[in-house]
Structures are given as C-alpha cells and as structure tokens.
Structure 1
C-alpha cells in the first residue's frame, strides 16, 4: 500500500477524495433540537456545559442543576476529576507552597504521560 503524499491533490488532510465529499449532504444527518437543555449565557463556560451535558446524558442523570451560577463549582469538580486520573508520581506542583521568589515564579503542569 502506497502512503499518501503531502502534494497529492486527490486526497485532502482528512483523507477524503473529492468524489466522497460531493456525496455527503446535510440530508444525510438527522438533526434534533432539544429545547429543554439549559442555556449558557456566561462567556467562556460552553465547554464546561458541553462536558456536563454529555456526562448527564451518558449516565441518565437530570441536568436540572446545570446553570451559570453553578459553573465555578462544576469547573472545580471537573478539574479535580481530571487530576485524579493522573498518576500521583507524575504530578508536579504548580507553585511552591512557601514562595520565596517573585509571584510569577510558577512551574507549569508537567507529566510524562501527556506528550
């Protein structure tokens, strides 16, 4: 099997040929508008809303508590859940608990598992 060349004009980055793109249309997809989904009004929380909504759907839970006022607590909970998944020996402290240098002397999160 021959590999794809970067200059191959018959195949785009997604691996689709022009003819396969032409066959796809919006009519191939079913679109459902659910009007009871909580709306996000606060800027910057759309990702948190999306993750929580997917979690609620997957677990069969109600999403009644999903609102802008709960976002700080939900964001903190999601952060804690993600950090819990990292192996303990791979977590580097984000800043020194007893800072002796300037306030901008912080170490970014580094882990061997994410590259």
Structure 2
C-alpha cells in the first residue's frame, strides 16, 4: 500500500506536469511542499534555517511545490511537507517546517546539536 510514512518509498504518481513525481526529485534530498505550505514558506524563518543548514553543511537540497490535490488519491500525502531522501524514501513528513531542520540533519547523518 503506497505511503509517505517515513522509511517508505515515495509513492509513484503522475502530476499534471506530465512528468513522473520521481522526475521532480533533485539528485540529493528533496523537500516536497504542498501549495498550502508553499504559500507561506517564502516568509518563513524556518525555511531560511533549512536553506542555511543545507548550504552550510553542503547537504544537497531541492525544494519543489507539488499540487497534491491533483495527484491520484493513492499518491497523496497527508502532510503539508515531505522530505525525500536521495534513495527516494521518505525521511520525514509533517506540517511544521520548523521540524525540517532537525529531520534534514538526522537523515543526512549530521548531529542535531549543530543548530543554524
């Protein structure tokens, strides 16, 4: 059964762009944001911390906005954001972008005490 539970392989889907959801992933980690999350991420201090951490620690991170309402029901996730590891498995999902900093550190093998 497809799931975005951390540890599961990201469910395959065909977004309206015509490309497979996997084609939207970057070569490193990818933070998939729903339109709901993306509406506020530009002004979010959490997003600034996420991008600063990725830059400072050289963790490859791509951020993609996906219209989850247009995905097939079995491929939709129940959270506003999903962090996908380079192996296309889910590392974290949630609604609070403040949690992404710690999740990204943990998934990349960095100590979580190295705060940005």
Q: Same fold (TM over 0.5)?
A: no
Larger relative contact order (Cα-Cα within 8 Å, sequence gap ≥ 6): 2
Greater radius of gyration (CA): 1
TM-score by length of 1: 0.26
Q: TM-score, normalised by structure 2?
A: 0.25
Higher share in strand:
2
